A and B are shown apart, each in its own frame.
Chain A
Amino acid sequence: MLGTLGRYFNLFFITLFILVGLSFVLAFFFPGDPVFNLTGMSLEELPTSAYTKALADERWFVAFWYYVQSLLDGSWGISTITGLDLFAEISTLLPATIELTAYATIVALLVGIPLGFWCGLKHHRKTDYAFMSISMLMSSFPIFWLSLLLILVVSLQLGWLPMSGRLSLLYDIPHYSGFILLDIYVSDHPYRQEALMDALRHMILPTLSVAFLATAVFLRTTRRAVVDVLEQDYIAAAQTRGIPFWKIFLRHIMRNALLAVLPLLAVQVSTLVTNVMIVETITEWPGIGDWLIQAIYERDYSAIRIGMLVVSTVVVFVTLLIECLSKLFDPTQEQFS
């Protein structure tokens, strides 16, 4: 168990190191001055320090060392376009993205996995075929199109839900954690209730657009896992022992199927984050995806560099976390470690 943890810890740090290295090297591939790309300022504007000296002398390896240090300090440089401090920017943007991803994942898990179980148990029957076709259809929608369609129909035509943003401008909620629901909850705004409702109404469309695809994927993954487990000898063996089916389901099928699904979810993390970023741009959700795409439009290389680093770190972290957890939960995995 400790060994597994240790291995994943190592893996995470090595990957992180490579990512940091890449982000450093990218500054040289982007057009323009590498120093400018790394810090958002030209050499003359920078306060003198060991870091700037290394940069000025083009001692790149030493500079890289200081670069890593500056990343750890939280001095990530400034945006070349707006001049805002990148660390402060990202610490308000990232929670919004995480929030959206989390809600979408929860919705998708709550819908996709139970449905997947149901389809798996009824596999090769009509309900199964129906749901499989639906999920096929769902996962083949391009997400930007789906998101736009939802906005068109639900917000513009029917006027049920707000079409963009995270909260109506009427409510001025002080920044506390960056997670809007939490911020509203801890604030002492006179219209807290209303603000909460408003935030929820803003959340529905982006959450649904992301969850739509994820549900389809979870459904199919779970169904496959259940069908596989059902074909195992030990299920037939349990049946020959005269154990009622619901008990077999609770004790053997559910457990083994979920253990099989968990590592597969790790693969989906990056797709999920990509989808979230696309939806953010369309619904103007103030998250890192929206911001990063803006940065790309504006050729804000300093921001692109750090945005890419942050997003990939989050993806790597979550992926490894899920994989590590699935290793720890699954007793059959121990034999390989």
Chain B
Amino acid sequence: MILLDIRNLTLEIESNGVLVKALDKVSLSICEKEIRALVGESGSGKSLIVRAISGSLPPQWIITADRLTWRGQNLLKMSKSERQKIMRRDIAVIFQDPQAALDPSVKLGAQFRESIPNEFINSRWWWQQRAEQNRIAWAQLTRVGIKDVKKCLNSYVHELPDDVCQKFMIAMALVSQPTLLIADDPTRGMETSTKRQIMSLCKNLNRHSDLSILFVSHDLLAISSIAHTITVLYSGQTVEDGPFDSVRRKPFHPYSKALLDSAPSFRPELQPKSPLTALKGTIPTLQHLPIGCRLGPRCPRAQKECVNTPVPRTIHKRQYRCHFPLHIDADENLDGKYEGIDV
């Protein structure tokens, strides 16, 4: 069953008096027990999607969508309190920078108690309730592998290392027993061992608690071990979507290919220290979005048609938005046009 279904989500932001489409017709869906990777460079709008789902975008930004539903209920049409209820019970979000996503002036224990749904607390008096809340907090924090639980609950964010904060945030997100976990680049800037711990935590949760995960990241390597499906985002447009392995073997979209090529371990034949193939240029800023396919100026395959925005096309469970996809017209191979960049 489809949990979260997004069709043609568009987000317009006013920038210097003009409306720009920070997200342009983004489509994405997550089924039960699925782990979906949402990848793209920073600046491609990943976090905006997360905030659009959770409803924490500034009110002056304009969101439109053909569909933005949670289990068939329209998230955009429902009342604030209904939406809060869904966020409280069904969807949980963890953020890339735990230090910034936790209130610096409140002890972690109090923040944790705040996120325990009231339904979980049965006792009558506040001191009993508090004891119960502490028990729950204790159990959750131990479960995600925090060692000194007591210290953690009595500390402020700045007193703890990053990885403990991240685990704390995961524990806090999971306390409401959500069906969907949205992880917004949770491993960014972490050491490999911590990264691995967090990835395996996600994997186990998915396997044993049937948790669906939307894993937002730019780190393909980390994701490859857990993701079932992938959505590639470029500059606010979803460019490709499909089962992870199939996309990895044969990316249709030139951008997916560039992205995959930039993760060295996906190419065992790569000689050590050979230049990293990637696209030239950088992701456009919101003020300078190209018309049509936004990859146009950087795309080695671009042609005249590319000034018209390509429509999504579907082949075997896979979707792409490109006029001249790779691997579909097998005789075309323009690999040579990729620029080598020394790293």
Task: List the interface of chain A (C-beta within 8 A of B).
Answer: 124, 232-234, 236-244, 247, 251-252, 255-256, 259, 330-332, 335
User: 9 new A-B pairs (CB below 8 Å) besides A124-B60, A332-B104, A332-B158?
Assistant: A234-B102, A236-B51, A236-B56, A240-B55, A240-B56, A241-B114, A242-B83, A242-B89, A332-B105
Question: Is A233 in contact with B100, judged by CB distance below 8 angstroms?
Answer: yes
Question: Is A255 in contact with B105, judged by CB distance below 8 angstroms?
Answer: yes
Question: Is B88 in contact with A242, judged by CB distance below 8 angstroms?
Answer: yes
Question: Is B103 in contact with A234, judged by CB distance below 8 angstroms?
Answer: yes
Residues of A within 8 A of B89 (CB): 242
How many angstroms from the CA of A252 to the CA of B173 in the assembled complex?
18
Total number of residue pairs linking A and B with CB closer than 8 Å:
77
Chain B residue nearest to A253 in the complex (CB): B103
How many angstroms from the CA of A234 to the CA of B172 in the assembled complex?
13
What is the distance, in angstroms, from A61's C-beta to the closest C-beta of chain B?
Answer: 48
The 7 closest A-B pairs by CB, nearest first: A242-B88, A242-B87, A240-B54, A233-B100, A239-B56, A237-B101, A242-B84
Residues of B within 8 A of A237 (CB): 93, 95, 101-102
Contact A239:B54 (CB < 8 A) given known A331-B156, A332-B156: yes
How many angstroms from the CA of A243 to the CA of B88 in the assembled complex?
7
Question: Is A251 in contact with B106, judged by CB distance below 8 angstroms?
Answer: yes
Question: Is B105 in contact with A259, judged by CB distance below 8 angstroms?
Answer: yes
Q: Does B142 contact A (CB under 8 A)?
A: no
How many angstroms from the CA of A94 to the CA of B126 in the assembled complex?
49
How many angstroms from the CA of A89 to the CA of B56 in the assembled complex?
61
Question: Is B60 in contact with A252, judged by CB distance below 8 angstroms?
Answer: no
Residues of A within 8 A of B97 (CB): 233
How many angstroms from the CA of A318 to the CA of B156 in the assembled complex?
29
Residues of B within 8 A of A255 (CB): 103, 105-106
Contact A243:B115 (CB < 8 A) given known A233-B100, A256-B105, A330-B105: yes
What is the distance, in angstroms, from B187's C-beta to the closest C-beta of chain A?
Answer: 17
Chain A residue nearest to B156 in the complex (CB): A331
Bin the interface of chain B by size: 20 to 34
Question: Is B100 in contact with A241, judged by CB distance below 8 angstroms?
Answer: no
Chain A residue nearest to B85 in the complex (CB): A242
Residues of B within 8 A of A124 (CB): 60
Residues of B within 8 A of A251 (CB): 103, 106, 114
What is the distance, in angstroms, from A235's C-beta to the closest C-beta of chain B?
Answer: 8
Question: Is B106 in contact with A233, judged by CB distance below 8 angstroms?
Answer: no
Question: Is A242 in contact with B51, judged by CB distance below 8 angstroms?
Answer: no
Contact A256:B103 (CB < 8 A) given known A237-B95, A243-B114: yes
How many angstroms from the CA of A256 to the CA of B158 in the assembled complex?
15
26 A/B residue pairs, CB under 8 Å, sorted by A? A233-B95, A233-B100, A233-B101, A234-B102, A234-B104, A236-B51, A236-B101, A239-B56, A240-B56, A240-B87, A240-B91, A240-B92, A241-B87, A241-B88, A242-B85, A242-B87, A242-B88, A243-B115, A244-B84, A247-B114, A251-B106, A252-B106, A330-B105, A331-B105, A331-B156, A335-B158
Chain B, range 143-197, C-beta contacts under 8 Å to A:
156, 158-159, 172-173
How many angstroms from the CA of A233 to the CA of B85 in the assembled complex?
20
Q: Does B86 contact A (CB under 8 A)?
A: yes
How many angstroms from the CA of A330 to the CA of B103 in the assembled complex?
12
A240 touches which one: B81, B93, B104 (CB < 8 A)? B93
What is the distance, in angstroms, from B313's C-beta to the closest C-beta of chain A?
Answer: 33
